[in-house]
Each structure stands twice: as C-alpha cells, then as structure tokens.
Amino acid sequence: MSADSVRPGAEVDAYCTSCKADRRHRIIAVVGTTPKKVECLSCKGHHLFRQTEAQKAAKAAHKRASKSEVGTTPRLGRSAPSAPKRRTEEDLVALWEKAIAGRAFDSFKPYRITIPLVKGDLIRHTKFGEGVVAEVVDANKCEILFKDGVKMLAHSIQA
Ligand SMILES: [Zn+2]
C-alpha cells in the first residue's frame, strides 16, 4: 500500500466488523499513513480500519524478516558499551552521513590523542577521515564513528 493510496475517499481492502469478512472499504479518516476509519462498500457500515487476514499475514512475515533490526535504531550516544552490536553497516553509514552532512570544514578538529573529546565532537582523522564522537568510553578512550565504521580511539592522553 503506497502512502499515496491512503487518503480519505480512496478504497482499501479491510476486514469488516459487520460483514465479518474482508471487504472493499472507502477510507473516511487517515492517521499518518494508516487508514483510521473506513466505510464498508458492502454494508455501508462505518468502523475503525482493520487489516484483512492477508495484510496481517504479510505484515507478520515482514516483521519476522526485519526482526533483527527492530528496536536497534542507532542513536548517537545512547549505545551502552555492553549492548550487543546489532547495527548494520548501512545504519552506520546513514548515521555518519547525518552527523557529517552540511558541516563546515572548520567544524572538524584535527584528531590528536592529546585533545579531550566529548560526545558529538566532529573530528578529522588523517587516516579514517571525518568522524563524530559517538561515545566517550572513559577518560582516555572514545568511540568515533567514521564512514567505514566505529573505531575506538584514544583521547586526552597527556604527552
Ligand atoms: Zn461490511
């Protein structure tokens, strides 16, 4: 179901609570991209949108397929070091791009092990390129998200 087809007046397949069967319905109200209230074209009854059995099955199948990603949406700075790392490469690249996109050249500090870093700092590493501090692990270690992944680097090391 494309978002475009979900709008008041459009027709969808839905389970009719009056007919007790899957019927063609006209959408009356939409919340977000989901039909909220529908009118059954068979019995003309108005009721809350309910998925057909087929839609439910498809959704369940999709949920199973993408289960490994559910609940692991990467959020900068929220990753506990002990949490299992289930973020995919694509997620990290997207996260990195979001953090780096549109930043001025001079918002990046040249990375040196001596400089103290805090979460969210933008740095430029001679080897790994531009990165963002994802997590300060301890006084001398931090995780930095680079385009090719998270690296554990030293910081605040007094020479
Ligand atoms: Zn009906």
Who wins on pLDDT, 56 or 13? 13
Q: What separation in Å is there between the alpha carbon of 106 and the centre of ligand 1?
A: 63
CA of 28 to the centre of ligand 1 (A): 14
Taking residues 29-52, report their average pLDDT.
Answer: 94
**pLDDT (tens digit, 9 = 90+) per residue, 131-143?**
999 999 999 999 9
Question: What count of residues does the chain have?
Answer: 159
pTM given for the model: 0.45
Strands (E) located in the chain = 11-16, 21-31, 34-40, 46-48, 109-110, 122-125, 129-138, 141-146, 149-154
Task: Give the model's pLDDT for residue 110.
Answer: 95
Range ranked top by mean pLDDT from 15-19, 51-55, 79-83: 15-19
Q: Which pLDDT score, from 0 to 100, does residue 11 have?
A: 95
Q: Closest by alpha carbon to 147, among 130, 123, 126, 124? A: 130
Residue 5 has pLDDT above 90, yes or no: no
Helical H runs in 6-146?
A: 53-65, 89-100
Q: Which domains does the chain have, with CATH numbers?
A: 3-69 (2.30.30), 89-154 (no CATH)
Mean pLDDT across 30-48: 94
**What is the model's pLDDT at position 141?**
96
Cβ count near 29 (within 10 Å): 12
How many whole angstroms from 83 Cα to the centroid of ligand 1? 48
> How far, in Å, is the centroid of ligand 1 from the Cα of 9?
16
pLDDT at 73 over 70: no
Average pLDDT over residues 105-119: 94
Structure-block tokens of residue 54: 């087929």
Measured in Å, residue 119 CA sits from the centre of ligand 1 at 55
Whether 85 has a pLDDT exceeding 80, the answer reads no
pLDDT at 64: 80
Ligand 1 center from residue 1 Cα (angstroms): 21
Q: Is 76's pLDDT higher than 80?
A: no
Q: Give the Å distance between the CA of 40 and the centre of ligand 1.
A: 5
